[in-house]
Amino acid sequence: MQRFIRNAGYAVAGIVHAVKTQRHMKFHLVAAAVAVTTGAACQLSRVEWIMLILVIAMVIAAELLNTAVEAVVDLASPERHPLAKAAKDTAAAAVLVTAVAAAVVGLLLFGPRIWSVIQRW
């Protein structure tokens, strides 16, 4: 149990590091807060909540892994190198893929609801 708590502490330190150093992480967290607030206002169904939580977790996990890749690359290759570039660009691409998927899910979940509110005005 003590070991679990210690490891959870390391994980929290990793999250704090990413939030402090990655401007994209701050953006993802704000976007997630807006999505959750809008979801509560729209009274999403159980399945819709599951989808929303999964895409939010996906984006944040991808950004955390991207932060880890950046740190390892900077440590291993402070000088410019094609492989360092490939590693960083590929990790950034993983974040982009999850962010686009999250945007599409957000559009499918909230688009029709927001559209019907606009039409009623």
Rounded to a whole number, what is the largest CA-CA distance in the chain? 58
Query: Should residue 92 be labelled a site residue for ligand ATP when binding is judged by CB under 6 A?
Result: yes
Active-site residue flag, 79: no
Query: Should residue 72 be labelled a site residue for ligand ATP when binding is judged by CB under 6 A?
Result: no
Interaction mask 13-42, ligand ATP, x per CB under 6 A: ---------x-x------------------
Give the burial string for 5-24 (b: 16+ CB within 10 Å, else e): eeeeeeeeeeeeebbeebee
CB of 86 to ligand ATP, least distance (A): 8
